[in-house]
Structure 1
Amino acid sequence: MLKKINSDRFLGRGPIKILYPGIGISDNDTGIGSIGRIDHPEIHGNTVISMHPHINDEILSYFRTGKAEHSDSEGFVKIIGKKTLMLMKAGSSFFHEEKIIGEGEPLEGLQIFIRPGKKDLKPEVVFLDLENLHSENSWRLFGSPNAETTFQFGSQTWLYDMKLLKGNEAQLPQLPKEKLTVLLYVFQGSVMVNGEIDLSKKDSLLIQDEPIGITASEDAELVLFVTDENGEIYKGGMYSGNQM
């Protein structure tokens, strides 16, 4: 099954656009498995997102341009952005603040709200310094439920990214097991899937039990969400949880 999710499905009129990927696909869940919500911020200038709570969310900050100063209730203060990514595992209670440093380029990226496997896990903050900003023409695994990655989710969730250069082709990476659900997200650029599905910036494609071929119509930055919908998932998170 292949189902396109158009960019006009995003909610919000400000600089942060919000996608609940399950809306329009499911009658009873705003998420897809452990993928609860995807935010795509584009923030120009200095901005403070003041201290606010998260409960039972796992939030991955994946900023591709710009930078922000992160501070939180666990005592961490760190500049994130571009090659420094962050995973916040909120558990029962967690507060954080972001100060957008608007000098030069705007802050643009994704904040990805993953559902934990269980309620009230221990709060934790993890940072990942990437060796390279992009992985060109090859999928890079940067989050999984296993110790093989610095970012370790509490649920059966895997995240990959890739910059597919114009004219190049790619398939899905070898997935860790069968019967997984995949969401392909176009962060920048445009691609053609199987020669007939055109995806541009902020479009995504739900993939279940289908082989696909991806061709870059122009340089494209792609993020791949993989979830086991049969795995244990807590759907009551403050932002990642089911909103219906």
Structure 2
Amino acid sequence: MIRLRRSNERGRANHGWLESQHTFSFANYYDPQQMGFSVLRVINDDLVHPQAGFDTHGHKDMEIISFVLEGAIEHKDSEGNVQTLPAGEFQLMSAGKGIYHSEYNPSSSEALKFLQIWIEPNSAGGEPSYQQNDFGKEVGLTTIASPNGKDDSMLIKQDATLYQLVLEANSEIKLQIESGRRVYLHQVVGSLAVNDAALVQGDGAKVSNESSVTLINTTQQRITTLIFDLP
């Protein structure tokens, strides 16, 4: 079964300095039919205006992934991490028993665009941790985060794996899905055919009870998709 989550149906928020689109229920946006998918709880498509950002705030027992699409993030947290994430980089912050952080757009002229992703951990508490990496744009599947750190990916506290898929124009890949697993696709750049369903930028697809799906780039440009393999 493939159920689509269209970009134009997502929840929206505009705080002046922040414009956000919520794939799942978040903050003041609530839809009982969109409370997440498996352990995937949040995908926020955020635009932060220049010289603005998220003030210091706390999280607990959540795996928080950021993927910078445009601009850069200045990150600071209570564990002493002070980092800059440019476009193309991923960050994974395991909140554990508790962590405080801030995220800021240092540019005086350019907007910051990034995806904020929350995945529920499989254990509570523990020490917070921070990881950051640029995985490039290699064609095919690249492992971004996994429970065992395979392929030099970031380590996540959940039986879930995040992949980046890059497809060249007019190419396809058949994605095999293990029995009992679910998959969520989020279209980042360009458009993608998932079997007979078409995704455009910002769209998502919930895949369950399928042994495989065929992913096809029918366009003339390179495209990027995030793929979540979930319990």
| TM-score, length-scaled by structure 1 | 0.82
Q: CA deviation at 1:80?
A: 0.8
Matched, 1:224 2:230: no
Per the alignment, residue 105 of structure 2 pairs with 100
* Structure 1 or 2: more strand by fraction: 2
Matched AA of 1:73? S
Per the alignment, residue 21 of structure 2 pairs with 17
For structure 2, list consecutive stretches of 5 or more residues without a partner in the other structure.
none
Q: Deviations over 1:30-89 (max 9, x none)?
A: 122211111111234221211011111110111122101100000110101324321111
Per the alignment, residue 82 of structure 2 pairs with 77
Matched AA of 2:2? L
Matched AA of 2:226? V
- When the two structures are aligned, how many residues end up with a matched partner? 220
Matched, 1:189 2:190: yes
Report if the CA contact (8 A) 1:7-1:203 is conserved. Answer: yes
User: CA–CA distance in 1 between the matches of 2:109 and 2:53?
Assistant: 17
User: CA–CA distance in 2 between the matches of 1:60 and 1:223?
Assistant: 12
Q: CA deviation at 1:128?
A: 1.6
User: CA–CA distance in 1 between the matches of 2:89 and 2:44?
Assistant: 18
Counterparts in 2 of 1:87 and 1:170: CA distance versus 1, 3 Å: same
Report if the CA contact (8 A) 2:61-2:97 is conserved. Answer: yes
Instruction: Flag the structure with more relative contact order, 1 or 2, with Cα contacts below 8 A and sequence separation at least 6.
Output: 1
Equivalent positions of 1:43-192 (< 5 A) are 43-103=48-108, 105-130=110-135, 132=136, 134-136=137-139, 138-148=140-150, 149-172=152-175, 174=176, 177-192=178-193
For structure 1, list consecutive stretches of 5 or more residues without a partner in the other structure.
229-244
Counterparts in 2 of 1:214 and 1:128: CA distance versus 1, 3 Å: same
Report if the CA contact (8 A) 2:90-2:133 is conserved. Answer: yes
Matched AA of 2:164? D
Report if the CA contact (8 A) 1:135-1:161 is conserved. Answer: no
Counterparts in 2 of 1:115 and 1:45: CA distance versus 1, 3 Å: same
Q: CA deviation at 1:103?
A: 4.9
- Aligned to 1:35, which of 25, 33, 40? 40
User: CA–CA distance in 1 between the matches of 2:141 and 2:153?
Assistant: 16
Report if the CA contact (8 A) 2:143-2:153 is conserved. Answer: no
Matched AA of 1:100? N
Matched AA of 1:217? T
Counterparts in 2 of 1:162 and 1:75: CA distance versus 1, 3 Å: same
User: CA–CA distance in 2 between the matches of 1:159 and 1:111?
Assistant: 13
| Two-structure CA RMSD over aligned residues (Å) | 2.2
Q: CA deviation at 1:114?
A: 0.7
Counterparts in 2 of 1:139 and 1:53: CA distance versus 1, 3 Å: same
